[in-house]
């Protein structure tokens, strides 16, 4: 049988189809994982702290309720621009910072390592003193930036630092690291350790993007002479069984998982409740940010819930496959492409580029910009927790597109 003869027209058509297919595969790829390069730090605020002269009685009540020692830092003063956001975020931050089951030393190891990974000056500067109070020396604090392989750590402390690195870079925790943690920690401690890294990742992304500067008079700064290096195993396949078994009963698996630890569950739930019910973002924009973040973190449970009954993405005209394909997929208008790009940049770079900020800020006021940032940042925390705790997808829910 003779060979089939290709005309120039059919050859061009074939090549065009291949190019289109390859472009689709490339566009649907997950962005480079976090930690490839040191996050860029702003030197001036994008969203300035709310001046005390502009405080209302509501603001003063929030400061009295949440400020450390009665004095508001630049983080709280910035969040005061959206009082409902303060009520949503601060209870969990206070829990993670001072009320969890972790020892003060373990807690500050995780917080400072997370600040280093995210390149967040505010968290590092405000927690270095707390780390010293927990017993860490100046040498020990510097060694946190050098990481688990720096030498001088007790084996378990090195494991804590590795867990932070894995959560930041892989949005999950390897089996080997989890087993080492579980040899000393019970379920409450394990959940607190995961959520400490997850919450301070959220805060660091927010403070980076908003440009929250260190408080006046605080002198500690991230070391600038230590190479930015993260060495972790490749991301392991998703867990097929839960590491933390959900309680029996009604409700979805994430709620029944956190119900095992009510002291943590109640303040944590306020974050997502604000994003899903309190934020003024259009539901379409909210679900774009949540789904893109879930895709980037490869959190299939989060994806399934927001394609399905929780987010109902299709009800807002969204095609999940196009969200997986990302901001360069055909059909997005420039503003919606920038929204997806914001989710990608917060995931990969721990901040927003000037280009993306300017595009979004041309349409959104300060409150809406803060809502964009908190939506993507909060669902980074949710994704990390779902993956690390092994929350299993509900029967019949829609999985990732192939």
Using one digit for the tens of pLDDT, what is the confidence trace for 87-129?
999 999 999 999 999 999 999 999 999 999 999 999 999 999 9
* Residue 369: pLDDT over 70: yes
Q: Using one digit for the tens of pLDDT, what is the confidence trace for 329-367?
A: 999 999 999 999 999 999 999 999 999 999 999 999 999
* Residue 158: pLDDT over 60: yes
Count CB atoms within 10 A of the CB of residue 374: 27
Lookup: tokens for 201:
């990742």
**Average pLDDT score, the chain:** 93
Structure confidence at residue 109 (pLDDT): 98
Residue with the larger pLDDT of the pair 14 and 162: 162
User: Range(s) for CATH 1.20.1290.10 in the chain?
Assistant: 52-238, 268-389
Count CB atoms within 10 A of the CB of residue 27: 15
Q: For residue 16, name the pLDDT band (cuts at 50, 70, 90).
A: very low
Structure confidence at residue 349 (pLDDT): 98
* Residue 67: pLDDT over 90: yes
**Residue 402 burial (10 A CB sphere; 0-12, 13-18, 19+):** exposed
**Superfamily per CATH, domain 268-389:** AhpD-like (1.20.1290.10)
Q: What is the CA radius of gyration of the chain?
A: 22
Lookup: tokens for 297:
């973190």
CA distance 375 to 137: 36
Q: End-to-end alpha-carbon separation of the chain, Å?
A: 37
**Length of the chain, in residues:** 402
Q: Using one digit for the tens of pLDDT, what is the confidence trace for 258-297?
A: 999 999 999 999 999 999 999 999 999 999 999 999 999 9
Nearest in space to 79 (alpha carbons), one of 49, 123, 43, 51: 49
Residue 204 contacts residue 112 (beta carbons within 8 Å): no
CA 166 to chain CA centroid, nearest Å? 13
- Residues with Cβ within 8 Å of residue 60, at least 6 apart in sequence: none
Percent of all residues in the chain with a pLDDT value above 90, rounded to a whole number: 91
- Residues with Cβ within 8 Å of residue 398, at least 6 apart in sequence: 303, 304, 307, 308, 320
* Residue 3: pLDDT over 60: no
> In b/e form, how buried is each residue of 317-352, taking b as 16+ CB within 10 angstroms?
ebebebbbbbbebeebeeebbbbbbbbbbbbbbbbb
Residue 168 contacts residue 35 (beta carbons within 8 Å): yes
* Fold of the domain built from segment(s) 52-238: AhpD-like (1.20.1290)
Nearest in space to 192 (alpha carbons), one of 96, 270, 269: 96
């Amino acid at each position: 049988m003779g060979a089939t003869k290709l005309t120039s027209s059919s050859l061009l058509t074939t090549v065009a189809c291949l190019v289109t297919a390859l472009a689709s595969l490339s566009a649907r790829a997950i962005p480079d994982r976090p930690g490839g390069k040191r996050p860029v730090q702003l030197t001036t605020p994008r969203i300035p702290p709310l001046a005390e002269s502009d405080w209302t009685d509501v603001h003063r009540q929030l400061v009295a309720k949440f400020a450390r020692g009665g004095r508001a830092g630049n983080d709280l003063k910035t969040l005061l621009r959206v009082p409902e956001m303060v009520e949503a975020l601060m209870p969990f931050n206070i829990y993670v910072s001072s009320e969890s089951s972790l020892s003060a030393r373990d807690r500050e190891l995780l917080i400072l390592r997370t600040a280093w990974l995210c390149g967040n000056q505010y968290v590092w500067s405000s927690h270095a003193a707390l780390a010293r109070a927990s017993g860490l020396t100046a040498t020990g604090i510097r060694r946190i930036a050098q990481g688990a392989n720096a030498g001088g750590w007790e084996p378990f402390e090195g494991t804590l630092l590795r867990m932070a690195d894995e959560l930041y870079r892989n949005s999950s925790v390897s089996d080997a690291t989890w087993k080492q943690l579980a040899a000393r920690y019970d379920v409450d401690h394990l959940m607190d350790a995961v959520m400490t890294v997850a919450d301070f990742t959220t805060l660091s992304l927010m403070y980076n993007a908003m440009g929250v500067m260190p408080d006046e008079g605080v002198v500690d700064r991230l070391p600038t002479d230590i190479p930015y290096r993260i060495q972790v195993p490749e991301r392991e396949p998703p867990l097929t069984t839960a590491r933390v078994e959900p309680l029996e009963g009604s409700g979805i698996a994430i709620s029944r998982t956190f119900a095992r630890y009510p002291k943590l569950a109640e303040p944590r739930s306020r974050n997502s409740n604000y994003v899903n019910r309190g934020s003024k973002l259009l539901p379409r924009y909210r679900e774009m940010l949540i789904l893109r973040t879930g895709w980037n973190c490869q959190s299939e449970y989060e994806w399934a819930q927001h394609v399905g009954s929780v987010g109902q993405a299709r009800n807002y005209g969204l095609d999940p496959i196009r969200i997986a394909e990302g901001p360069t997929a055909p059909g997005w208008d420039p503003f919606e492409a920038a929204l997806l790009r914001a989710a990608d940049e917060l995931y990969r770079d721990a901040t927003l580029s000037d280009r993306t900020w300017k595009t979004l800020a041309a349409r959104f006021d300060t409150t809406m910009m803060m809502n964009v940032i908190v939506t993507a940042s909060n669902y980074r925390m949710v994704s990390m927790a779902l993956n690390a705790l092994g929350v299993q997808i509900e029967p019949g829910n829609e999985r990732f597109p192939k």
